[in-house]
Amino acid sequence: MLICLPLCSQNYTVTHYNTDNGLPQNSVKDIVKDRYGFIWLTTENGVVRYDGSVFNIFKDFPINNQRFTFFYGNVQKDSIFTGAGYHTVLLHNRTAKVLKSTGHFGFKYKYDHNRRLSESYNYHPNQGNPFYMMMKEGCYFITDSSVININPLSSKEKLLKINTVYKKRRTIFTLNEKLFHIDYASGKVYGIVNGRIKTQYDIPVVTDTNSTLVWSRVNNSVFIIKDQKIYSLSFEKGRFGSTLIADAGNINLQHLTCIYYDKVYQKLYLGSSIEGLTVLSFHQFSATKEKNSSTTVFYSTLPYDNTSIITPKGQLYNRNGMLSDRSFTSDSQYFMNYDPDQNIIVQDSGRLYTYLKSSSFSARNLAVKTTSTVVDFLYDDKHYYTVTRPMSRQFLGGSLYIYKDRSFNTVERVIHLDSEPTRLLMANGFLWVGTIHGLVKISLSTFKTKEIGTEKDIYIRNIILSNDGDLWITTLGKGFYLLKNDELIKMPLDPDKNLLSAHTILEDQKHFFWIPTNNGLYRVREHNLLEFARHRKNEVHYYRYTKDEGFNTNEFNGGSNICGNILKDGDFVLPSLNGLVFFNPLKTRSTYPKNFYLERALIDGKEIRFSEKLTVDQEVQKIDLFIDIPYFANRNNIVIKLNRGSGEEWENIEQGAKVTLFNPSYGDHLYTFKILTSDNETYVYKKIHILVTPYFYQRAWFKVLCILLLLLIIMCIVKIRTRILKKKNRLLEDIIDARTKKLSAAVENLEKTKSQLNNEIEQQKKLIGTITHDIATPIRFIAFASQDILENDRNDTEKLQKILTSISKSSGQLYNFTLALKEYADIYNNYRSDKKESYALYDLIEEKKELFDPIAGNSNTIISNTVDPDAYLDINRNTLSVIIHNLLDNAVKFTKNGNISIDSEVTRNTTVIIIKDNGTGMSPSQIEYYTSLHKNIDNEKLLLQKYGMGLHLVLQLAHILRATIELENNTPSGVVFRIIINNIADE
């Protein structure tokens, strides 16, 4: 079913574009809007990007054909394509570039003159050219007599034989990703799914042979043209609907090629094959006046009913024009009002008349005869109030009349005013009188007057009470003010300063103020104004409406007691110099840019593209930064500001959307831009770095080099200045160093010698103590024995033999002890030498073996040498020889008919010499004694007489070599000695 929406097309303004005002060629083939908000056109001389103000032409493509056709692709994915001959151009990221491949959407098709991809069509097709259409359900190949569905996976084809051409027009179109066929013969529209007809629809406006379809799949739009009217076709929930968009009137639609309707900006774009681009901008405002009448200027008006107003002449107007004329007699367009009974009061020849509501305003009564001109009138529960001025402007001042009993019969009080009054308002328990020099506040209880704002000498045009109870003052030439605590707070102005002469303020239900001026209508949030009054620094921006929105003129009228009306149907009505302006504030759009782009620059006449950072040389004299703003409304409402990186100061950018920099200095310059995007004072920010490369002498490395060079020169001067002194000091230091080294070496030698002497002294002390203790007994025994021989009977042979035997043993003991002492002294003297040489341990053992072999042979004892021949030592050879000599000597003495073995165990850190015999061995007490003596060799006294000198000497020599001796009984008899020598010498 077809749903025809009963909507009337709006009034619009028509704008034509061709080669005279921006287009590269007069043939517009297709129109699309990308995801960034730019309008794109294809022509036969390039691709055009339109931002609402400037046509940016792309035609320097590296191809041999600039005759572009239609658009296809996906707007949301930022992939829009168009073709020129065999070439494909991609619209992506706000620019256009040529693609090498002609396959898209995963389907490879043959792109030539006979078969081509199509995503849009108009009613002037080239006959005999079949084409492809890519759909979600597969690919369709359209010929003149068939529709072929091709499965993209299996490549299977389904043939549907239908005539796709009727009287030189195609009968195929798409909408919402569905394929439809128009059968003009049956008057039906058929839906095609998977290559088969599934549904049919009755759409008379489509199947009418006098209608023409213009459709575009990339825009998902179908338009119907019939009788110069343009309809938009929709398809939702299985039902078709149509909406009247515009009555084209006298616009030539004969050569129409494409249509695009921008719902956001309420603009209709019509592309023609010969006349370029036509843009229909639909109005949001209705300006009405009496047709064929000289009455075009309006001032004071009153609401008459829900949808119309009445003028002082008694003329009734609504959105569509004048309804009727009550023919009031009035010589003043600046005054009219209602009394409490809703009778209309007008002024004529110095008299006030009331037109009675009871007579449908056909009869009138004389209200009062005055000698002054009534400026304004109001009433409360008890009184009438009027302000008047003298009829002759030669007299200054004016009067406030207070009438008794809500009539003009009795004047109760007259208050004279020093200045001519312009407006009267009652609010907050006071009467507020506006004059040409300021505001007068009059108490209703005491009638005392107070002048406000007279020192500023402001000409008050109107006093308005807002819904929140605030008083707002509009003036002539001084802007408008907020009255707070008897203080007039001036509001900021618009950039063009048109608000200097604001006529009145009308407040809508969303608390927006609508302010008519002599040059346009302004809209602003009340909240923003109050915030400015509170902080005195907040930014306030005004949205401006001009006659492009439907006014006959931008000049609105003020100076009357009522400068605007709010009707019960929600419409606002404002008088202007050319008609009455009707509009619904809640339905009137204020569109702002959603984004802007900084990616183009003109550097000394050469255009380049960049992203966030622009690098230039210092030779550049001029840089033009282009600010691309897709915005298709009044560009005066673009608020874009620039911060040059210095503090918080923002500067306004002119509407040309271009920033020019001259001779920029070197360095990294940060520029921050912001653009207003809503009535709520929200912004979109973007930053750009302009890096101006310095000359080599301005670079940091050059400055550092210069500093280093200066420091080097200073250092050289210092060095030259001190070189002679340093040379003298060096010679002196060399002498001192040489002497110091000698002294250090001498001290070190002395320390070593001191340490050795201390050790020798300690050992000698121990030796002397031992000798003193141990030699005394045998000597005293010999002395006592000798004395006993002398004193006793020498003939006692047996006793004499015993005494001599004892003397012999003691003497032998002293002899052996003396030899041991001599050997110990010689070894200790030899050990003082620091000379070290490496020798084979096997050879040393072999020497001692050869020495003791004869003695051992007498006792039937065998000595064996199994030491490792590769074992080498560098400790004192004589000392180690004495140790081994003593140990072998003991082993030979106490071993009869046995074996003595000498072996070695060599590791990385130690060399162990093992001397093992199977002689008589040692008692446990002896082993314990020697083990304890070895552990405390520095503290123990040498008891030479107790166990003899041999092992004591061995233990002392092992201590000198810093070797360790372990001893234990051999099994079953004998002793095992282990001499453990460290291979790593002490430092």
The predicted structure's pLDDT at residue 777: 56
Q: Which tokens belong to 417?
A: 């005013």
Q: How confident is the model at residue 817 (pLDDT cuts 50, 70, 90)?
A: low
Query: Average of pLDDT values for 96-124?
Result: 51
Of 425, 426, 517, give the one whose Cα is nearest residue 462: 425
So what's the pLDDT on residue 20? Answer: 94
Q: How do 321-325 and 613-617 pair as beta strands?
A: unpaired
pLDDT digits (tens, 9 = 90+) for 784-815: 777 777 776 666 777 777 777 777 766 765 66
Q: CA-to-CA distance for 904 and 841, rounded, in angstroms?
A: 9
Count of all residues that appear for the chain in the document: 987
pLDDT at 945: 42
What is the average per-residue pLDDT within 839-858? 85
* pLDDT beyond 90 at 673: yes
Q: Quick check: 823 pLDDT over 60?
A: no
What confidence tier does 125 reach under pLDDT thresholds 50, 70, 90?
very low
**Residue 616: which region, alpha, beta or left (left: phi > 0; alpha: psi -120 to 50)?**
beta
Question: Closest by alpha carbon to 370, among 390, 388, 350, 385?
Answer: 350
Query: In 10 A of CB 487, how many CB atoms?
Result: 11
Give the model confidence (pLDDT) of 658-671 as tens digits. 888 888 888 888 99
Would you place residue 9 in the very low, low, confident or very high pLDDT band (cuts 50, 70, 90)? very low
The partner residues of 509 in beta bridges, in order of sequence, read none
Residue 422 pLDDT greater than 80, yes or no: yes
Q: For the residues 936-964, what does the mean pLDDT come to?
A: 68
Closest by CA position to 275, among listed 28, 66, 41, 12 = 28
- The pLDDT value recorded for residue 83 is 86
Name the percent of the chain lying above pLDDT 70: 88
The predicted model scores a pTM of 0.70
Give the range with max mean pLDDT: 39-43, 115-119, 862-866.
Answer: 39-43
Least confidently predicted of 23-27, 454-458, 742-746, 920-924: 454-458
Is 159 a residue whose pLDDT tops 60? yes
For residues 104 and 88, which has the higher predicted lDDT (pLDDT)? 88
Burial of 812 (0-12, 13-18, 19+ CB in 10 A): exposed
Per the structure block, which two tokens stand in for 213? 């379809």
Rg (CA), the chain: 62
pLDDT digits (tens, 9 = 90+) for 726-741: 888 888 888 998 888 8
CA 211 remoteness from chain centre: 54
User: Which region among 350-354, 570-574, 930-934 has the lowest average model confidence (pLDDT)?
Assistant: 930-934
Residue 138: band (very low, low, confident or very high) from pLDDT cuts 50, 70, 90 = confident
Tell me the average pLDDT across 245-253. Answer: 92
* pLDDT score at 700: 85
Buried-state track 268-306, b at ≥16 Cβ within 10 A, e below 16: bbbbbbebbbbbbbbbbbbbbbbeeeeeeebbbbbbbee
What pLDDT score was predicted for residue 123? 34
Q: How many CB atoms lie within 10 A of CB 217?
A: 24
The whole-number average pLDDT for the span 267-288 is 95
pLDDT tops 90 at residue 77? yes
Asked if the model's pLDDT at residue 878 lies above 60, the reply is yes
Model confidence at 433, pLDDT cuts 50, 70, 90, reads: very high
Mean pLDDT of 109-122: 43
pLDDT tens digit sequence for 293-331: 667 899 999 999 999 999 999 999 999 999 999 999 999
- Predicted pLDDT at 227: 92
CA pair distance 541, 481, nearest whole angstrom: 16
Q: How far apart are CA 573 and CA 172, in angstroms?
A: 48
Q: In the predicted model, what is the mean pLDDT of the chain?
A: 86
Q: pLDDT tens digit string along 339-380?
A: 999 999 999 988 999 999 999 999 999 999 988 999 999 999
Confidence at 833, pLDDT banded by 50, 70, 90: low
From edge to edge, which strands make up the β-sheet containing 172-175?
172-175, 178-183, 188-193, 196-201
d(C-alpha 851, C-alpha 839), whole Å = 19
